[in-house]
Structure 1
Amino acid sequence: MPDTTTSDITIRAIAAADTYELRHQVLWPGEPVAYIKLGNDEAGLHFGAFRNGKLVSVISLFIDGSVARFRKFATRPDCQGQGIGSQLLRHVINEARRHGARRLWCDARAVNEAFYRAFKLEPEGNRLYRGTEPYILMARDL
């Protein structure tokens, strides 16, 4: 798989363990690091967006037949709102297609619903909670 480079951002495959620091820092800083690790991390495809050689955004993709799910999408707070996460998500959508997925979904934090709608993901079902954090399943056909 080739790297994707746009302006000063390079996107490439990384190891699961390379996602842990950002996952922890951005998603669940109040929990132990073990909380952000997934039991099936080794089965996933993990991608990082690098700015000037520094990892600033991560996402993990899990493909099961024709269905793909992305998880643990995290962008460094000082890099949010700059289009880096959007570049990374576009890359993952293309990777899911490349691996034969015909549907893509995620459990999105409800606060980020508008962001995911911009990528044609739509809410499905009711909100769920992880602790006090509301989530909603969002999905789209590829």
Structure 2
Amino acid sequence: METRHIIPATITQQQPLISIRPISAKDTYALRQAVLWPNKPLSYVQLPDDIFGQHFGAFVSNSNDSDANDNGEDSCNSRDSKQNSEQSLVSIISLFDDGSGAARFRKFATAQLWQGKGVGSALLSYTIEAAARKGATSIWCDARQSALGFYQRFGMSGEGEVFFKGEVPYLRMSRALP
């Protein structure tokens, strides 16, 4: 699977250059823990099925727009050569085939400093497209109740009753794929 670069029309602090690419399950663990379950041990965020999943990461440029040329356009070619050394992993997601034609994403986390800046939205869009390319007819997740509005923007709707993982309320959400 190729790396996708999402380049906003105007690069600002609020609209970072985002690069999305496959990563290993191990590369997701630190961010999973820091964002989702900071008071639990690292082993708590490791899934037995991680070896069967696809894991994606969203990376943002560590530079502060110094690579943009004078007219405000992005000079993507100069960034590509520096990409690996100057990017930070700020959002992760894991995608699984549930065996029934549906895909499930889990452990979706975006670093707090990057929430609300489009990084998680770009990563979820990428993941939904990846599931559809693999032939999934639907996609679902167990969503934290505090994030239901976010998932609704992607056409997902709730099913069933609210349930709890520890003290955190969740709702299953899903949508059909084209």
Tell me whether 36-45 or 59-68 shows the greater mean CA deviation. Answer: 59-68
Structure 1 residue ranges (4+ consecutive) displaced by more than 3 angstroms after TM superposition: none
The answer to whether 1:99 aligns with 2:134 is yes
How far apart are the structure 1 equivalents of 2:111 and 2:98?
Answer: 28
The answer to whether 1:20 aligns with 2:29 is yes
Q: How far has the Cα of 1:64 moved from its partner?
A: 2.9
Q: How far has the Cα of 1:2 moved from its partner?
A: 1.2
Q: How far has the Cα of 1:63 moved from its partner?
A: 1.0
Q: Give the aligned partner of residue 124 of structure 1.
A: 159
**If the length of structure 1 is used for normalisation, what is the TM-score?**
0.99
Q: Secondary structure at the match of 1:2?
A: coil
Unmatched tracts of structure 2, length 5 or more: 8-16, 62-86
The answer to whether 1:86 aligns with 2:121 is yes
Q: How far has the Cα of 1:34 moved from its partner?
A: 0.4
How far apart are the structure 2 equivalents of 1:57 and 1:107?
Answer: 18
Q: How far has the Cα of 1:107 moved from its partner?
A: 0.1
**If the length of structure 2 is used for normalisation, what is the TM-score?**
0.79
Amino acid across the alignment from 2:96 = F
Q: Secondary structure at the match of 2:154?
A: coil
Q: Secondary structure at the match of 1:40?
A: helix
Amino acid across the alignment from 1:79 = W
Percent identity of equivalent pairs: 49
How far apart are the structure 2 equivalents of 1:76 and 1:124?
Answer: 27
Q: Secondary structure at the match of 1:126?
A: strand
Q: Give the aligned partner of residue 35 of structure 1.
A: 44
How far apart are the structure 1 equivalents of 2:53 and 2:135?
Answer: 15
How far apart are the structure 2 equivalents of 1:112 and 1:85?
Answer: 12
Q: Give the aligned partner of residue 44 of structure 1.
A: 53
Q: What per-residue deviation string (whole Å, max 9, x for no partner) do you get for residues 4-27 of structure 1?
A: 111210000000000000000000
How far apart are the structure 1 equivalents of 2:168 and 2:94?
Answer: 20
Question: Which of 108, 113, 124 in structure 1 is aligned with 2:148?
Answer: 113
Q: Give the aligned partner of residue 57 of structure 1.
A: 91
